[in-house]
Amino acid sequence: MAQGSSTNRFRIIQGGNVASVVNGVTDSLGSGNPALVTMAQEAIYNPTSTNMNRARTVANSTDSDGTGVQAVGLLAQFDDTSPSTVTENQFANLRMTSRRALHNSLYTPNGDSAMDETNDAVRTTLVTATPAGTNNIGDMDIETFENSADVTMQNAATATGNGTVLTTTGYGTAVVQVTGTFVGTITFEGSVDGTNYHAISATQMGTTTIATTATTTGIYRTSVSGLTNIRARVSAYTSGSITAVGRCTNATYGSKIVALGPGTNIIGSLAANQSVNIGQLGGIATALGNGTTSTGTLRVTLSSDSTGQVIARGAAAHGSAVSGNPLLNGAEGRTTDQTAVTSGQTTRVIATSTGKQVVMPYALPELTLSGTASATGTSNTAIIAAQGAGVRIYVTTLVISNSSTTDTEVEIKSATTTLMTIPAPQKSGATINLPVPLRLTANEALNFASLASVMTMKVSAVGYSGV
């Protein structure tokens, strides 16, 4: 069946016989074939016919059954390996993926491809900057700002005065450059309503100074977000001329962390007599009294790898009164002597293996004294010489020998002062061990004198020196 040139005219051709059907009426059948005519009529007037495809007709009711724009099934070719290309005005198959999704390509308004087939990506263009002025992005209006024009806020001022204001609406930061040779004060002030002005802080660039006033030349920067105007008012004037030029910007101005100078610096403050809760640490009440430990008792832990030293001290310094509980003392148990230390070094107290402390009688070995002297007359004879200023001789043992046939006595003296008198029988003598050492006067020699002349009187002494 082929469509003719006339409206709603179809030709039915079968075996060389031709029939024309116009609106369902047969023009010429030749030998005729009623079945073929019926098929054509059904194709035109019976869209639900099963004898051939439904007609492509258009009716007013596009959603009605059997009429309107009919559904058409689309087929596409799965070809991801080597898709062929076509030239202008040629027909070709649609391409699809293995999951039956149609391949689509994006094009710019100029007809250029927006696809990057090498990297399987879509090319995009980033706008690096929004032009100055009013720019519409969707339903938002973005108004961009550049630096404001420079404003001379004080022009070689030689007296106090407000000067010219700098409009700051829409800006976040303002800088004011102060020049001139002068003795005076500029006060930086800002306003919201344009009428009432209040002091604002400014940072002198290149320094750590933050203040509401300026007395020297320099560039001063201040935050003006929310303000409509600022001014550099000459609040005090003595001499010279003062010029101030201001400018606004939306460049980022972050807070600056500066070091505190020497002296007393206040970071915030508490009202006078305001109470502060120091009764808790980490939300736990601290235990401040005596007694057993509790949850609130502070613990101190000394690490084993600490490079510092923990020094235990006694209750009082040497020569001071002491009080409190005594400490238990320990000693080093030894069966051999220690290695000698030099004077002034620390040494351990030693004890026997059963804990009995070893004590040297009277004094250090280095301070032990001994001497022997003999005489035949009754004059003073030195046994041990004087030990020097402030140093005394302490005698612990005396041995006397009388080789004559005369009984007599021997006087033991501190220089010339007699401290003891000991009998010295003939052909005999005496050995005296003193439980309490005999103490001489400082810096005096230990002497003896026989009360009678004898053949030989010999005296030996052992002791130590001390204060």
Q: What's the CATH fold of domain 151-249?
A: Jelly Rolls (2.60.120)
How far, in Å, CA of 445 to CA of 384, rounded? 6
What is the distance between the terminal CA atoms of the chain, rounded to a whole angstrom? 149
Phi, psi of 176 (to 5 degrees): -125, 125
* 3-state helix, strand and coil shares in percent for the chain, rounded to the nearest 5: 5, 35, 60
At 297-330, the pLDDT tens digits run: 777 776 767 776 666 767 777 778 877 777 778 8
What is the share, in percent, of the chain residues with pLDDT greater than 70?
Answer: 68
Residue spans per domain, the chain: 1-73, 82-126, 151-249, 365-466
Cα–Cα distance measured from residue 428 to residue 403, given in angstroms and rounded to the nearest whole number: 7
Distance separating alpha carbons of residues 68 and 328, to the nearest angstrom: 114
Q: What is the pLDDT of residue 57?
A: 44
With b meaning 16 or more CB within 10 Å and e meaning fewer, what string describes 354-374?
Answer: eeeeeeeeebeeeeebebebe
CATH code for residues 365-466? 2.60.120
Q: Do domains 151-249 and 365-466 have the same CATH topology?
A: yes
**285 to each of 128, 288, 293, 294, 298, how far by Cα in Å?**
59, 9, 13, 10, 10
Question: What is the residue-level pLDDT of the chain in tens, covering all 467 positions?
Answer: 444 444 444 454 444 454 444 444 444 444 445 554 455 454 444 444 444 444 444 444 445 554 445 555 677 777 766 677 778 878 777 878 777 777 777 777 666 776 666 666 666 665 556 666 666 655 544 445 578 899 999 999 999 999 999 999 989 999 999 999 999 999 999 999 999 999 999 999 999 899 999 999 999 999 999 999 999 999 999 999 999 999 999 876 554 455 666 777 666 666 776 666 667 776 777 777 777 777 777 777 767 677 766 667 677 777 788 777 777 788 888 888 888 889 889 988 988 988 888 888 888 888 999 999 999 999 999 999 999 999 999 999 999 999 999 999 999 999 999 999 999 999 999 999 999 999 999 999 999 999 999 989 999 999 999 98
DSSP secondary structure letter of residue 357: B
Please tell me whether residue 32 adopts helix, strand or coil conformation: coil
- Grouping H, G, I as helix, E, B as strand and the rest as coil, residue 360 is coil
Global model pTM greater than 0.75:
no
Would you list the DSSP string of 238-299? EEE-EEEEEEEE-S-------PPPSS---SS---TT-----SEETTEE---SSSS--TT---
Task: Identify the three-state secondary structure at position 35.
Answer: helix
